[in-house]
Amino acid sequence: MNVPDLRRLRQFAAIGEAGSLTAAAASLHISQQALSSSMQQLEKELNATLFRREGRRLRLTRAGELLLTEGRTLLAAARTVAERVEHASEGTAEVFVIGHTPALSGSEAYTLLEPAITAFPNASFTFRQLYPDQLTGAVLDGTVHLGLRRGVVPTNELATAILGYDRVRLALPCEHRLAGHAAVGIHELAGERIALWAPPGASYYSDFLMAACRRAGFEPDYVVSRVQGAATVAAPLTTGAATFVTTAPGPAMGGRVVVTELEPPLLVGAQAMWQRHTSSAVRDALMAQA
């Protein structure tokens, strides 16, 4: 069975994204005729019709939409392979980059990666905090080798695995009426304002937390923290609201915040994601410990 030529696949992706042969040819710095001929050859190779013309625009067929989705993943993997081969050829050390969302603190991300860090004492590791919408793109383009986020988010673009589960707790301002409780029932948050890092619909983790409140019988009143990128346990200081965290119970932020247990127990997954069609000994070591 024929496989797509990477050069033609890159040209096809340019057309799919631009929606126009003219615009894609300009961005690729080739003639429309050459690009059209290349696409005809790609369709012949794959025995599939990839485009249909609607007026002045090209629309993708169902086969074309599938190729665009899978093709982006394949092109990203090809770039990653080329970079790794170049590093190996030049004898330069490869840096394994881990991206994590603000819902995972730097210390939590390190704890998850520690088995791989220990297994490869000569490897270099870099941690970067990225917002969820940035993280997926960074993994796809290869600037991040492994992404970590809260919740279990379905995706067809990336390979994923659950590294573990953490217990969700409640962070409260020390003067909050519930701060002195050893444990707080989630139903007791009815009528209380809850601080989130992103609004529902923009964050799978926020959706997960809001769903937990609704299962407890109330519609949560929430506010999005105006301080982004800081530790989640700091949110009560600027919002005065209760915040769901995975921090250990006890005083935090110099005693100005109290972290208490949440009942019934609520567990949230830490999901790893990486480019499909790629291999990594570091990642394999991590998955073996998951």
* 3-state SS, one letter per residue, for the chain: CCCCCHHHHHHHHHHHHHCCHHHHHHHHCCCHHHHHHHHHHHHHHHCCCCEEEECCEEEECHHHHHHHHHHHHHHHHHHHHHHHHHHHHHCCCCEEEEEECCCCCHHHHHHHHHHHHHHCCCCEEEEEECCHHHHHHHHHCCCCCEEEEECCCCCCCEEEEEEEEEECEEEEECCCCCCCCCEEEHHHHCCCEEEECCCECCEHHHHHHHHHHHHCCCCCEEEECCCCCCCHHHHHHHHCCEEEECCCCEEEHHHCEEEEEEECCCEEEEEEEEECCCCCHHHHHHHHHC
In a domain, 243, yes or no: yes
Indicate if the pLDDT at residue 1 is higher than 70.
no
Percent of the chain with pLDDT over 70: 98
At 252 the pLDDT is: 95
In this prediction, residue 209 carries a pLDDT of: 95
- The reply to whether 152 falls in a domain is no
Residue 223 has pLDDT above 80, yes or no: yes
Q: Which domain CATH number covers 221? A: 3.40.190.10
- Taking only the tens place, the pLDDT of each residue in 192-217 is 999 998 888 888 899 999 999 999 99
Residue 87 has pLDDT above 80, yes or no: no
Last residue of one domain, picked from the residues 78, 99, 133: 78
Residues 6+ apart with CB under 8 A from 45: 2, 3, 4, 5, 8
pLDDT of amino acid 192: 95
pLDDT band with cut points at 50, 70 and 90 for residue 49: very high
Answer with the residue of higher pLDDT: 20 or 215: 215
Residue 171 lies in a domain: yes
Q: What is the mean pLDDT of the chain?
A: 89
The pLDDT of residue 93 is above 70: no
Is 182 inside a domain boundary?
Answer: yes
Domain edge (last residue) among 51, 78, 105: 78
Region of poorest pLDDT, from 3-7, 87-91, 262-266: 87-91
| AA identity, residue 274 | W
Q: pLDDT of 106-152, one tens digit each?
A: 899 999 999 999 999 988 999 999 988 889 889 988 889 999 999 87
**pLDDT at residue 189, rounded to an integer:** 96
Query: Of 4, 26, 147, whose CA–CA distance to 78 is shortest?
Result: 4
- The partner residues of 241 in beta bridges, in order of sequence, read none
Whether 264 and 275 share a structural domain: no
| 252 and 113 in a common domain | no
Count: domains in the chain = 3
With beta carbons less than 8 A apart as the criterion, state whether 178 and 188 touch: yes
**Assigned domain for 242 exists:** yes
Which domain does 107 fall in, by range?
89-145+271-288
11 and 53 belong to one structural domain: yes
The answer on 253 and 177 residing in a single domain is: yes
Same-domain pairing of 202 and 109: no
Radius of gyration for the alpha carbons in the chain, expressed in angstroms and rounded: 24
For 232-259, write each residue's pLDDT tens digit: 899 999 999 999 999 999 999 999 999 9
**For residue 92, what pLDDT is reported?**
67
* Percentage of the chain exceeding pLDDT 90: 54
**Number of neighbouring beta carbons within 10 Å of residue 10:** 16
